[in-house]
Amino acid sequence: MSTDDFLARFGAAGQRQPDPVAAAQLAMRNALPKRFYAQAAVSEQDGLFHVALDGRTARTPARRPLAVTSRPVAEALAAEWQAQDGQIDPARMPLTRLVNSAIDGVADQQQAVRDEIVRYAGSDALCYRSGEPEALVARQDAVWNPIIAALEARLGARFVMAQGIVFAAQPEPVLSAVARRAGTIPGPLALAGAHAVMTLTGSAILALAMAEGLIAPDAAWDAAHLDEDYQSEIWGGDEEAAERRAARRTEFDAAALLLAQG
């Protein structure tokens, strides 16, 4: 579940209910207003870095200031706004969408997002291995095992591995350790970034490994697509699938920036 989907499902109290923030985001996606500003830049005010459109702070769908604590994030946000040509197209602004979600939604329900990370860890994609062919099994072991081992050393707990798609419950010490680590991710920006990395890769392990600095974003992305790449090598690539993957990669890069700089 993506952060946008999370906002659509939960209100401020973490219960299922209509969400005005999600409605605002939907309206932003559907309507493409004309660009109304000449210059997007960064201004520093009260210890925050604001995205300034012709000197005026941009607003989130909930009308909160589009302002962050990190200058690199603010500069990347301003670059997205500056790159808009003629119309403001949220589809071409993955970082802005994610920061909007962080400010308007994640900030008010951080524990629910942390709980979602623990839930993902309970059935993490990296813990489910193929039984064949031998080449794929060897590749999964070579790429995934060192990542898991490094994270286990930080967590002080060991994940349970399974073969195939039969569910294998993770032991309580693993989930408790993941919960403790998720609790240290600063919110809401880094937390939103971690959640997006997790949903885009299908792996809380990869998100936490990135948060710990155990793996670089490029390596995490490749690890998440190991099975897909293996199949492509055998059967050839698919143009539409490649386009979808490229679009997800832009979202992943935005999430990785927030996780590192948020």
* DSSP string for 205-243: HHHHHHHTTSS-HHHHHHHHTHHHHHHHHHH---HHHHH
Task: Encode pLDDT of 183-222 as tens digits.
Answer: 999 989 999 999 999 999 999 999 999 999 999 999 999 9
Q: Coil, strand, or helix at residue 87? A: strand
Q: How far apart are CA 199 and CA 92, in angstroms?
A: 19
Residue ranges, comma separated, of all CATH 3.30.2180.10 domains in the chain are 3-93
**Total-model pTM:** 0.85
Chain center to CA of 109: 16
62, 21 contact by CB (below 8 A) = yes
Residue ranges, comma separated, of all CATH 1.10.3580.10 domains in the chain are 110-261
Q: What is the DSSP code (8-state) at residue 125? A: G
**Residue 99 has what pLDDT?**
97
Q: Coil, strand, or helix at residue 65? A: strand
Q: What is the DSSP code (8-state) at residue 172? A: H
Q: What rounded mean pLDDT belongs to the chain?
A: 89
List b or e across 170-188, with b for residues whose CB sees 16 or more CB atoms inside 10 angstroms: beeebbebbeebbeebebb
pLDDT at 153 over 80: yes
**Residue 30 has what pLDDT?**
62
Structural element, H or E, at residue 3: helix 3-9
Could you tell me the CATH superfamily of domain 3-93? ATP12-like (3.30.2180.10)
Mean pLDDT of 17-29: 52
Q: How far apart are CA 156 and CA 95, in angstroms?
A: 33
Q: How far apart are CA 174 and CA 123, in angstroms?
A: 12
Q: Coil, strand, or helix at residue 2? A: coil
Task: Encode pLDDT of 31-49 as tens digits.
Answer: 688 999 999 999 999 899 9
The 8 Å CB, 24+ separation contacts for 12-17 are 12/108, 12/109, 13/109, 14/109, 14/111, 14/112
Mean pLDDT of 78-93: 94
**Residue 164 has what pLDDT?**
82
Q: How far apart are CA 111 and CA 28, in angstroms?
A: 27
Please state, for a pLDDT cut of 90, what percent of the chain lies above it. 79
- Residue 23 confidence class, pLDDT cut points 50, 70, 90: low
Mean pLDDT of 147-171: 94
Fold category of 110-261 in CATH: ATP12-like fold (1.10.3580)
Encoded amino acid at 109, one letter: Q
**Residue 10 has what pLDDT?**
36
193, 217 contact by CB (below 8 A) = no
pLDDT at 12 over 80: no
Q: How far apart are CA 196 and CA 261, in angstroms?
A: 14
